[in-house]
Structure 1
Amino acid sequence: MTPPARTLEPRRDLWLLGALGLVVLVLLAVLIVDRTGDTENTASAPTPEMGPVGDLSRRLDGDPLALGAVDAPVVMIAYSDYRCPFCAKFSRDTEPVLVDKYVDEGILRIEWRDLPIFGEQSMAAARAGRAAAEQGRFWEFGTAVYAASPERGHPDLSPEALRGFAEAAGVPDLDRFARDATGASADQAIYADVLEANAIGVSSTPSFVVNGTPILGAQPVTVFEQVIDAAAGSAP
């Protein structure tokens, strides 16, 4: 006599449980292999140690407000104001040394951040810097401004003066520069820089963060070299 159909259900349930158990084991094995692979990949690609401030680099390819290779092992964030006499001193005395020794060798990337703290002319100059960047002459513009800055006090950066610096920097379309420099299209990006500075407690210029290590003020070039060398030494 053929047994009732219900007597086969326990055997069928046992078979299903066994099949499901096998699937679970296979999935666990796959996960273990994947995690092992991820661990191996992480171990083979160490990242540089970061200082207490952490990694603030943006590493945007083609960023006109950055100097150096996008994949440089060391990134220095520079919070600056065009009316700051100590920023001018850094631009004239220290930055060329760092560019020659580290940026040109692919070790260092410098990323500019606007921190306009000396009144409305500082904000106008920040807009002008962004206007020069739109035509590929950002760093040349900053160099021109700082080269003419006084040793003490704050320069008078009137619209006429800013246009003159743009001309000296080789900005090709000065009328476009004037329009961009007096518009508000760059304000959001400038305010983002200010908020970033405020978030880490930076309220004076120039201030720097080198792979998470802060440097305050226009320190001697040897101070920058020591911090950059230490950061480069921790890089893969």
Structure 2
Amino acid sequence: MTSSTKASLQVMEAKYRRSRRLNVVLGVIAAFLGVVVAAQSLPGQSPTSASTPSTSASSERSEEATDDPVFVRRDADDPMAIGDIDAPVVLTQWTDLRCPYCAVFSRDTLPTLIKEYVDTGKVRIEFHDVAFFGEQSEDAAVAAGAAAKQGKFMEFVTAVYDAAPERGHPDLPREKLIAFAKKAGVPDIDRYAADLDDPKLRAAGQESTRSAQQLGVNSVPFFVAGTTALSGAQPLGAFREFLDTALAQAE
């Protein structure tokens, strides 16, 4: 890491320490007011108890998972999730592959969270792609979906974020997306390239963006765990506190 990068991260950390409390409050208001609106279309369900339509996997969920918000999937076959399906806490992340702060989180914080919380069975992480930075963001969401179809979502996203520039939004034309798929170990590149033109994948990416906005998620990275939310690529300590609080609530 260059000295300029370290300096930039130090400035960012100081900024987020000052604004962390405000960000959490605003995030909770935005996300859960949106959940209230979404839950109004589900008679007899509260915002935090409403669940997604039943699937063969979700029907086998443990009783402890019944209070999950509507956007929590807990699908055993979910290619865009990591961790135990019955983990006490699900950390939901909304991310854009052209978001510089999403890249910072992926490189500097996520590996530690996986080691300390996911690998120990405490937390499951579920990802939602959004396209907030133009057409290439939408193309990248399609590309991530194509990688997910071959079981390489995390590897693809990690490859993109590891190569992201220190500043600004990365340029992600089709040829770069295919190159990242190769780097991520996607087994069938011809199939992958064909899937980049799949209208169903594009529609799914667009729907994910709309759903995020309806929930009040208008910037990324954005996180929800339990009944609290966190916004931005905050320092590792902030995420530890965030997840420890959610785990204590889950108990």
Same fold (TM over 0.5): yes
Alpha-carbon distance in 2 for matches of 1:114, 1:209: 14
Secondary structure of residue in 1 paired with 2:200:
coil
1:201 matched to 2:220: no
1:224-235 equivalent positions in 2, closer than 5 A: 224-235=239-250
Which of 164, 174, 182 lines up with 1:167 in the alignment? 182
CA offsets 1:105-137 (integer angstroms, 9 cap, x no match): 111111110111111110000000000011111
SS in 1 for 2:94: strand
Aligned residues: 189
Structure-2 residue corresponding to 1:75: 90
User: Aligned to 1:76, what secondary structure does the other structure show?
Assistant: strand
Offset of residue 102 of structure 1? 0.3
TM-score with structure 1 setting the length: 0.76
Which structure has the larger Rg over C-alpha atoms?
1
Q: Is the 2:103–2:161 Cα contact (8 Å) retained in structure 1?
A: yes
Answer whether contact 1:124 1:182 (CA < 8 A) is retained. no
CA 1:46–1:61: 2 relative to 1, 3 Å = closer
Query: Quick one: distance in 1 between partners of 2:128 and 2:225?
Result: 13
Instruction: State the identity as a percent.
Output: 48
- Give the partner amino acid of 1:74: V
Q: Distance in 1 between matches of 2:64 and 2:189?
A: 46
Taking structure 1 as reference, are residues 178 and 224 closer, same or farther at Cα in structure 2, changes over 3 Å only?
A: same
Of 88, 113, 118, the match for 1:98: 113
1:195 partner letter: R
TM-score computed with the length of structure 2 as normaliser: 0.72
- Alpha-carbon distance in structure 2 between the residues aligned to 1:60 and 1:47: 12
Give the AA of the match of 1:71.
D
Distance 1:142 1:59 in 2: 20
Shift of 1:174: 0.6
Give the direction of change, closer, same or farther, for the CA distance of 1:195–1:212 in structure 2 (3 Å limit): farther
The question of 1:187 aligning with 2:211 is answered no
1:213 counterpart residue number: 228
Deviation at residue 151 of structure 1 after TM alignment: 1.0
Q: Which amino acid letter does the alignment assign opposite residue 213 of structure 2? A: N
Distance 1:210 1:131, change over 3 A: same
Q: CA deviation at 1:73?
A: 0.7
Counterpart selection for 1:115 from 130, 136, 139: 130
Q: CA deviation at 1:48?
A: 8.9
Query: After the TM superposition, which segments of 4 or more aligned residues of structure 1 sit over 4 Å from their partners?
Result: 45-50
CA distance in 2, matches of 1:217, 1:48: 28
**What is the identity, as a one-letter code, of the residue corresponding to 2:140?**
A
Structure 1 residue 55: deviation in Å?
5.3
Deviation track 1:134-183 (CA, whole Å, cap 9, x = no partner) reads 11111000000000000101111011100100000000111110110122
Cα contact 1:49–1:235 (8 A) shared by 2: no
Per the alignment, residue 40 of structure 1 pairs with none
Residues 1:129 and 2:144 are matched in the alignment: yes
